[in-house]
Amino acid sequence: MNKVIIFCAPSGSGKTTIVKHLLKNDPRLQFSVSACTRAKRDAEVDGKDYYFLSKELFAEKVRHNEFLEYEEVYGGNFYGTLKSEIERIWAKGKVVLFDVDVVGGLNIKKYYGDQALAVFVKPPDVATLELRLRHRSTETDETLRIRVEKAVEELKFESQFERVLLNDHLETALEKASMLVNDFISK
């Protein structure tokens, strides 16, 4: 059976760090690259970090039902998961690993049902999350405020996930994430 594993969390929860750890240590997994309409950052690579699409091309793919899920995030930019990406990974015999926002993750879980494991990565508290975002040094005061407000809203979705992974100690969270993934793939 083809399987997907979804890691969701508010920005700053450590979700991406956990996903990178899993990808590095479990050869059964392959990362699902999302599509987006935002500008590519200097260190990013098209097709590796994201599929960078124009808003026009993104809208055309929406019209042709090519997305598994998509949404508008952070001031007019669109992010989504192309169905072709999942098929590409499954064709390689791999389990798809997602690093997506909460709403997208719930939509993917709904679409795949028992083929999917949905994990919510929870920060210890909002203050710690805000501190982690500040330490990234990628946010203005305004974007930080927006991300924290969104995080507070996203934390309300925790109960809709099969598993909740508290990230209050990174090494412990990495071990627990590996166990969750292994248990799901093995069953």
Domain ranges of the chain: 4-186
When mean pLDDT is compared across 98-102, 118-122, 128-132, the lowest value belongs to 128-132
When mean pLDDT is compared across 59-73, 134-148, 149-163, the lowest value belongs to 134-148
Q: What is the mean pLDDT of the chain?
A: 92
How far apart are alpha carbons 60 and 66 in whole angstroms?
Answer: 9
Question: Which of 87, 89, 71 has the alpha carbon at shortest distance from 79?
Answer: 71
Four-way CATH pick for 4-186: 3.90.320.10, 3.40.50.300, 3.40.640.10, 3.60.15.10 = 3.40.50.300
Question: In this model, does residue 64 exceed pLDDT 80?
Answer: yes
What is the per-residue DSSP string for 31-78? E-PPEE-SPPPTT--BTTTBEE--HHHHHHHHHTT-EEEEEEETTTEE
Question: In this model, does residue 173 exceed pLDDT 90?
Answer: yes
What is the per-residue DSSP string for 12-25? TSSHHHHHHHHHHH
- Please state the rounded mean pLDDT for residues 141-166: 90
Q: Identify the band that residue 74 occupies on the pLDDT scale cut at 50, 70 and 90.
A: low
* Model confidence pLDDT, tens digit, residues 35-55: 999 999 999 999 999 999 999
How far apart are alpha carbons 186 and 71 in whole angstroms?
Answer: 32
- Please state the rounded mean pLDDT for residues 153-176: 95
Question: What crossing angle do the helices spanning 170-186 and 15-25 adopt, rounded to 10°?
Answer: 60
- Please state the rounded mean pLDDT for residues 24-44: 95
Task: Give the pLDDT score at 109.
Answer: 95
Task: Give the pLDDT score at 158.
Answer: 94
Task: Give the pLDDT score at 67.
Answer: 96
pTM: 0.88
